Amino acid sequence: MKAANDQRLAIAFLLPGRGYSGGVRAGVRMAAEMQKRGHIVKLFYKNKRTPLRRCVKGLKNIIQRTPSDWVGNYAGTVQGFTTLNDQMLDWADIAISVGPDCTEDLETLDNENIVKIFHVHGLTLRNPHLKETAWKSPLLKIAVSDYVKRELNSAGAKPIAGVIGNGIDTSEYYPEPCDQRNGIGTVYGQGVAKSPDTICRTFGLLYENLARQCEFFCFGSCPRPRDLPKFVQYHRLPTIAQARRIYSQCSTWFCASRSEGFAMPLLEAMACGCSVVTFDCGGCRDFIKDGENGLILPEANAEKLAATITRLIYDVPLNNYLAQNAADTASQWTWHEVAKNMETLLWKIVSHQPKEQPVNNPFYTTV
């Protein structure tokens, strides 16, 4: 053990960049929670931009008044890298690639005393080649949801240590008082898995049904999409406080994605008092039970999504029932509990120090 004593782990979290992706945010928060638990933790992020491009990006953020990144919220040691080397991690017991972007970097390290882990946050539909390379890597894998674990198993991606999801901070996400809670909202993403066309189509149908009763909200990381209907209030890169306010103005929050590793915004909306409606995007099933604390639609269809949301708006008792159960569920998915589960799993991994997957090791998932 390289940590100062046997009660601490030395953990390096490797992030794909400093940006505002959900994976980066989750990695930063997990690192902070592990640090709170007394472990030695450092963040490393991949430098994808040249110094000139980083300078231009910084100036754009200042001019547009957009937040810079999630990494800036981390209170511990942070280091950027272009090329990872053994000396950078010679202090660590464990190195975790948050998402697939740093898996090849990890594989190039010669140090066999570091346990190398790939925390799989999604199916990487944005880059099939990167997905194939990362999933076929010999790195030990932790899935972010049962859905991702099943997909890993189906693809023959091994070894798999277990499932560790994301969490919620109830001091950040909670219902704010507002004059009226009549909104309908979602998160906009440009990737194919986020179904941007379905989002726009759903908003159009909802406006036809509910224009007089409801307001419509949407936020995302990109500038306002051209195809997004003008009646939708769009917020780019809202702060946590701004996102909480948006959630709190909404009666119902929906997700039109066809694949989500975990579907974090749904959990945030649930914590803020929304009822939720989603396509069966995979990761949502770890915390949403259809008909109990949300509604899951098996078919990715804008017409059915809009009809279901409209029904909820008019069926106030059902909406309230789902929203209350959703809030109760969110209160159980705290970062404290998630980090505790991660800590337990990492101790098991370190205690085994496997060079290869043992045939009869009970801590590993077998196909």
User: Nearest-CA neighbor of 70 among 32, 121, 127?
Assistant: 32
CA distance 142 to 153: 12
Would you state the structure tokens that stand for residue 274, as one six-digit string? 């929304």
The predicted pLDDT at position 63 comes to 41
The predicted pLDDT at position 10 comes to 97
The predicted pLDDT at position 100 comes to 96
Q: Which residue type is seen at 315?
A: D
**Which residue bears the tokens 């539909």?**
125
The predicted pLDDT at position 69 comes to 81
CA distance 270 to 185: 12
The predicted pLDDT at position 1 comes to 60
The predicted pLDDT at position 70 comes to 84
pTM value surpassing 0.75: yes
The predicted pLDDT at position 353 comes to 61
**Which residue bears the tokens 């991994």?**
349
Beta bridge pairs of residue 11: 41, 94
The predicted pLDDT at position 211 comes to 93
Q: Which CATH number is correct for 10-167+335-352, 3.30.230.10, 3.40.50.2000, 3.50.50.60, 3.90.640.10?
A: 3.40.50.2000
**Which residue bears the tokens 């798999």?**
160
> Mean pLDDT of successive 10-residue segments in the chain (367 residues)?
71 92 91 97 86 46 53 93 96 97 95 96 90 95 98 96 97 94 97 96 98 96 96 96 98 98 98 99 98 96 98 98 99 97 97 50 35
Report how far apart, in Å, the C-alpha atoms of 7 and of each of 92, 110, 255, 347 are: 14, 26, 41, 10
- Sequence length of the chain is 367
| Percentage above 90 pLDDT, the chain | 82
**Positions of CATH 3.40.50.2000 in the chain:** 10-167+335-352, 183-330
Secondary structure string (H, E, C) spanning the chain: CCCCCCCCCEEEEEECCCCCCHHHHHHHHHHHHHHHCCCEEEEEEECCCCHHHHHHHHHHHHHHCCCCCCHHHCCCEEEEECCCCHHHHCCCCEEEEECCCCHHHHHCCCCCCCEEEEEECCCCCCCHHHHHHHHCCCCEEEECCHHHHHHHHHCCCCCEEEECCCCECCCCCCCCCCCCCCEEEEEECCCHHHCHHHHHHHHHHHHHHHCCCCEEEEEECCCCCCCCCCCCEEEECCCHHHHHHHHHCEEEEEECCCCECCCHHHHHHHHCCCEEEEECCEHHHHCCCECCCEEEECCCCHHHHHHHHHHHHHCHHHHHHHHHHHHHHHCCCEHHHHHHHHHHHHHHHHHHCCCCCCCCCCCCECC
Note whether 14 and 99 are within 8 A (CB): no
361: number of Cβ within 10 Å: 13
Q: Which residue type is seen at 110?
A: D
Task: Give the domain 183-330 fold.
Answer: Rossmann fold (3.40.50)
CA distance 262 to 283: 4
The predicted pLDDT at position 73 comes to 86
Residues 6+ apart with CB under 8 A from 285: 145, 146, 147, 296
